[in-house]
Chain A
Amino acid sequence: MNNPPKLARKILEWFAGAAFVEDLLGDLDELFFIHLKTKSTIVAKLLYWRGVLSLLFSYALKKRKEKATASPYSNTISLGLLQNYFKVAVRSLYQHKYFSILNAFGLAVGMSVSLLLLSLISYVQTYDDFHTNRENIYTIISERTEGVEQASWASAPHVLTDKLKENPGVKEVVQINSAFREEVKLPQGLIPLRGYYVEPNFLEVFTYEITQGNARLALSQPQHIIITESAARKIFNSTNVLGKVLELANGDLMEVGAVMKDHPINSHFSFELLVSFASLPPAQTSLSDQWMHFDFQYVYVLLRDRPTITEFQTYLDKISAENYKDLPVKVAFEAQHLNDIALGPDLRRAIGPKWEASGIIVFAIIAAMILLPACFNYTNISIARALKRAKEIGLRKTLGGVRHQIFFQFITETVVITFVAFLGALLLFYFTRSEFQKMLVASNALDLSLTVRMATYFLLFALGTGLIAGLFPALFFGRLNPIQALKNKAHKGASAMRVRKVLTVFQFVLSFGFILTLVVFSKQYRYSLNFNFGFTKENIVNVTLQGTQAQQVKNEFSKLASVQAMAMSSQVMGLGYNNTWIKDLAGDSTEVAQMFVDGNYIPLFGLTLLAGTNFPEETATTEKFIIVNEEFVKSDGVAVADAIGKTYRVEDQDLQVIGVVKNFHFAPLRYPIKKFFFRSNPAKFSYAHLKVNTADAYAMFTDFESQWKKLNPEQKLVASFFEDDLNEGYSNYVVLLKITGFLGLLALTISALGLLGMVVYTTETKVKEIGIRKVFGASVLNLNFQLSKEYLKLIVWAVGIGAPVTAYLIYLVLPRIQYYSTTVSVWDVVISTTILLGLGMLTVWSQTNRAALSNPADTLRSE
């Protein structure tokens, strides 16, 4: 009890750092014992504390600390020391060229994916930075709840506008409708145009450069537009288009009231035209409907002052509470800042290019899964080589190097090599950049050329990677005991061995995962292409009618010798479908997928009728019949034969079932087979399906073209083989395969490099052992096995862990991608294991074999 307070002493020692305070502590102790003689323990302790406090802020301690920093036990790193570390790092890396190249290459590969991610993020962060009012612009997003279904929408009802204008904090409210998607009639055909309907104040809130005309006037008159320069060039071949008139395919005329410069691509808006809001037909629906349905409607506000945002949000909550009181749909509004739109939460119906946070997170996880193994490699190889470096470190420590100095020396070394690797990663980045950009959905709103911001991110990232990769080895070396190190006993670290093994197994688990995914995805792709859809897909050509009369097409094309039969329909089977609602006699309504066909359709596509008959040959102008699928009958719980003759109410008509067709995949394999029926309304036809029989496809298509010219000289023939269309629908697998293939290659390269480093190192240290074994009669094969069995074990472990984990993940993911999907079989695992083992063993044996073949006389001669 009668000892000076420990905590006070610790605080003083900690505060003093490297400064010499032994005499001061001694004085404090002595005073404490003097005080104890006359005063109570508590008072003595308090006096000790007071003494410590007086010292902490004293001039004496301050001076001692200043002096201490100049001593060799300094806590700070001087520039000179850093220079020295750098020099030592470069020399050491140069001396161990082989390992340095291995490390740098591995890190470069690992960093390349992250660079893609960083470049994407750095560009997306510049979105909408050209608007001068950007600090105070918000958009209104909606959280829509209907029954149990809940979804976040980027749009908001326009009826909100008047309510918002009542708020004193709001300076401007801009309504935008993104539904303008029309085609312009030109001599060379129809040209599609995308645009927004906007109010005149759009250009006051958002910053765009008008080159000609009066923009405000243009936006306040109906049938007037502002055109971007690129759209003007596309349509008129000139930017001098003020006052010209566009004729739309629907017959409307639009006058160009102003011309603007193309907006920068880093914007969450994307348009070719701005159409005056007055051109938009007024809403015909009831007020309550306007509050509930707002698919293409967007509301932006310009606030007077940024701090008013919390008040504004409460105002929004109040509006939503008042207006959705009696409605079946509830909507909560939220103000989202302009800067958060492009890289924000997942929302439905974004107005333009948008980068969803969830996608970025998945990408970041993948990037980390590639980067971390590369860092592990460095860690692994560095620690494995501890024995060689141990003497150097032992000597440094004996000569007065302290732990943190050794630590910094190794961190510097890692950072140097990371920067070398970073250059390599940049090179890879340049090669993969365009391919990567092609894979992204909103790639035309992306520019991945190097900017200052991106370069800063890159450099910080390289530094961070260096620190992560170098942390463990640096700590390890810093803690090395100099006596043991000099005695060559540094390798006792069993824990370090275990860490290395765990890291290696982890890498191989990852590689195995990528290989297995690749194998299963390619199987899934083949599975989809060879799937039995339940209909014929060979020798059928689809021709898009493009508004031409179906009967005319039939007449002209059936003249050709190559055409054997012909059918009409509303859409291409197996690619998409649309739904309608039907009511049975009891009045229950259900959602059913539908398709409009003629009487030739079912035989042409080889569909089987289970009961009843096909549509009559000459389809009547009024609809009478439907042909339903098996699933339709089954879910209604009736026998196939009994279904015939039943009537259903479909869109205000009573239609009678005249046939039941065997189930077939009218929708892509992504969706399960649901209730479906064929209808026979010729007005809905937009495709002709031609059963053809020809050896010369080229000649056939030329014939088609000449027939088409007679029918519709203004438009080009759009025709293709059904099988190609169908396969095209599964081309997303090609992209998926490309991505997993690329990532798998990277992961495998990194693990192979890591393995190579380890093997090179161990065989190097075991050269003598090999020599002795050889002298005693070990064969090359025997030696190879001796040296590689350790690694074989690791790979087997990796397969043991990787196979169930990956198989389970694939089992979870595959049905989400596609309802009818293949499964992971034992064979897939065997194939993947063979690939992994093969590559792994090839790497190992390339080194062990060389060691095993070496002449023992050479290796044992020295010493």
Chain B
Amino acid sequence: MKTYLGELEELVLLTIAALGKEAYGVSIQQDLEARCNRSISIGALHSTITRLEEKGFLKSWLGGATQERGGRSKRFYEITQAGKKAVAEAKSVRDELWSLSSIKLSVK
């Protein structure tokens, strides 16, 4: 394992990937809350994003001026190639473990 990817980091990364072009602070937070039932403070979210940026899994750019938030611009995020590789690796580790385990996926 090259870089460790925390559970929340993985969730945030996947959410950003899922949101596509509309991934910015509030949308990520709302999505996490709706989909994963995770309530997370804006400070914690941005800290996680900052860490992911430092690891090179995310890139960001500033959007233009907006109407609904006091004219302030949004910072949009997008998953990088390295990010995609990191989540893929995490997934493959889990798949392997799943296949080896004796848990039967009989819930569905």
A→B interface (CB under 8 Å): 22-31, 33-34, 50-51, 53-61, 63-64
- The reply to whether the CB of B26 lies closer than 8 angstroms to some CB of chain A is yes
**Across the interface, do B72 and A23 meet the contact criterion of CB distance under 8 Å?**
yes
The segment from B9-17, B36-44, B80-88 found at the interface with A is B36-44
Min Cβ gap A717→B in Å is 97
- B73 → chain A closest CB, angstroms: 6
User: How far does the alpha carbon of A303 sit from the alpha carbon of B90 in the complex, in Å?
Assistant: 74
Please measure, in the bound complex, the distance between the C-alpha atom of A34 and the C-alpha atom of B44, giving whole angstroms.
Answer: 19
The distance from the CB of B105 to the nearest CB of chain A, in whole angstroms, is 37
Asked if B72 and A29 make an inter-chain contact with CB atoms under 8 angstroms apart, the answer reads yes
Provide the bound-state CA to CA distance between A136 and B104, in Å. 84
Partner of A60, one of B47, B69, B70: B47
Q: A25 touching B70 by the CB < 8 A rule? A: yes
Query: Is A27's CB under 8 angstroms from B70's CB?
Result: no
Minimal Cβ-Cβ distance residue in A for B53: A63
Q: Which of B25, B68, B70 has the most CB of A within 10 A?
A: B70
- The smallest beta-carbon distance between A42 and chain B, in angstroms, is 19
B72 in contact with A26 (CB, 8 Å): yes
How many whole Å from A228's CB to the nearest CB in chain B? 74
Given A30-B26, A59-B50, A23–B42 Cβ distance below 8 Å? Answer: no
* Chain A hits for B74, CB < 8 A: 23, 26-27
A27 and B26 contact, Cβ closer than 8 Å, known pairs A58-B47, A60-B47 = yes
B25 → chain A closest CB, angstroms: 4
Closest B residue to A27 by beta carbon equals: B25
Contacts of B49 in A (CB 8 A): 60
- Excluding A27-B42, A27-B74, A54-B44, 11 further A-B contacts by CB distance (< 8 Å) are A23-B72, A24-B25, A27-B24, A30-B25, A30-B68, A31-B26, A53-B43, A55-B43, A58-B46, A61-B43, A63-B50
Inter-chain CA distance A61–B42, complex, in Å, is: 11
Closest beta carbon of chain B to A7's beta carbon, Å? 16
Q: Cβ of A57 and Cβ of B70 under 8 Å apart?
A: no
CA distance A59 to B75 in the complex (A): 17
CB distance from A64 to the nearest CB of B (A): 8
Q: Are A22 and B72 in contact (CB under 8 A)?
A: yes
Q: A24, B68: Cβ atoms under 8 Å?
A: no
Write out the residue numbers on chain B whose beta carbons fall within 8 Å of the beta carbon of A57. Answer: 43
Q: Is the CB of B72 within 8 A of A34?
A: no
A-B contact pairs, 28 of them (CB 8 A): A22-B72, A23-B73, A23-B75, A24-B25, A24-B42, A25-B72, A26-B69, A26-B72, A26-B73, A26-B74, A27-B26, A27-B29, A27-B69, A29-B72, A30-B25, A33-B68, A33-B69, A54-B42, A54-B43, A55-B43, A55-B46, A56-B43, A58-B47, A59-B47, A59-B51, A60-B49, A63-B50, A64-B50
B25 & A23 in contact (Cβ 8 Å cutoff)? yes
Cβ distance A335 to chain B, nearest Cβ, rounded Å: 56
Q: How far is the CB of A571 from the nearest CB of chain B, in Å? A: 90
Q: Tell me the nearest residue of chain B to A24, going by C-beta.
A: B46
Residues of B within 8 A of A25 (CB): 70, 72
Contact A28 B50 (CB under 8 A): no
Total interface residues on B, using CB and 8 Å? 24
Q: B67 to chain A: closest CB distance in Å? A: 11
A29 pairs with B70, CB closer than 8 A: yes
Mask, B28-67, CB within 8 Å of A = 1, is 0110000000000111101101110010000000100010
CB contact between A51 and one of B24, B43, B62 (< 8 Å): that residue? B43
Which residues of B sit under 8 angstroms from A27, Cβ to Cβ?
A: 24-26, 29, 42, 69, 74
* Residues of A close to B54: CB separation below 8 A: 63
Closest chain-B Cβ to A763's Cβ sits at a distance in Å of 54
CB distance from A535 to the nearest CB of B (A): 95
List of A residues within 8 angstroms of B24 by Cβ: 23, 27
Q: Give the CA-CA distance A58 to B25 in the complex, in Å.
A: 14
Cα-based distance from A418 to B72 in the complex (angstroms): 47
A25 to chain B, nearest CB (A): 6
Contacts of A54 in B (CB 8 A): 41-44
How far does the Cβ of B59 sit from chain A's closest Cβ, in whole Å? 14
- Tell me the complex Cα distance, A24–B25, Å: 8
Cα of A24 to Cα of B69 in the assembled complex, Å: 11
Q: Looking at the assembled complex, report how far the CB atom of B91 sits from the nearest CB atom of chain A, in whole angstroms.
A: 26
Bound together, the chains give a CA A57 to CA B43 distance in angstroms of 8
A26 touches B70 (CB 8 A): yes
Residues of A within 8 A of B42 (CB): 24, 27-28, 31, 51, 54-55
Assess whether A29 is in contact with B43, with CB atoms less than 8 Å apart.
no
Question: Considering the chains assembled together, what is the distance between the CA atoms of A28 and B68 in angstroms?
Answer: 12
For residue B68, which residues in chain A have a CB less than 8 angstroms away from its CB?
30, 33
Q: Are B69 and A30 in contact (CB under 8 A)?
A: yes
Hey, which chain B residues are within 8 Å of A23, CB to CB? Answer: 24-25, 62, 72-75
Minimal beta-carbon separation of B87 from chain A (angstroms)? 21
Shortest C-beta distance, A484 to chain B (Å), equals: 29
Find the residue from B43, B62, B66, B75 having the highest chain A CB count within 10 A. Answer: B43
Q: Nearest-CB distance from A584 to chain B (Å)?
A: 95
Taking a contact as CB atoms under 8 Å apart, the answer to whether B26 and A34 are in contact is yes
Minimum CB–CB distance from A28 to chain B (whole Å) comes to 7
Complex Cα distance, B74 from A22, in Å, reads 8
Residues of A within 8 A of B72 (CB): 22-23, 25-26, 29
Q: How far is the CB of A4 from chain B (nearest CB, A)?
A: 8
Residue of B with least CB distance to A33: B68
Query: Most chain-B CB neighbours within 10 Å: which of A28, A30, A31, A50?
Result: A30
- Cβ contact of A26, chosen from B30, B44, B66, cutoff 8 A: B66
Residues of A contacting B69 in the complex (Cβ-Cβ under 8 angstroms): 26-27, 29-30, 33
Which one of B41, B46, B73 has the highest number of Cβ atoms from chain A below 10 Å of its Cβ?
A: B46
The closest CB in chain B to the CB of A58 belongs to B43
Q: Which residue of B lies closest to A29 (CB)?
A: B69
Question: Which residues on the B side are within 8 Å of A34 (C-beta)?
Answer: 26, 30
For A22, list chain B residues within 8 Å (CB). Answer: 72-73
The CA of A53 and the CA of B41, in the complex, are separated in Å by 10
**In the bound complex, how far is the Cα of B50 from the Cα of A31, in angstroms?**
20
Cα of A149 to Cα of B41 in the assembled complex, Å: 74
CB of A60 within 8 A of CB of B29, answer: no
Interchain CA distance A450-B21 in the complex, whole Å: 72
Q: How far is the CA of A60 from the CA of B41 in the complex (A)?
A: 12
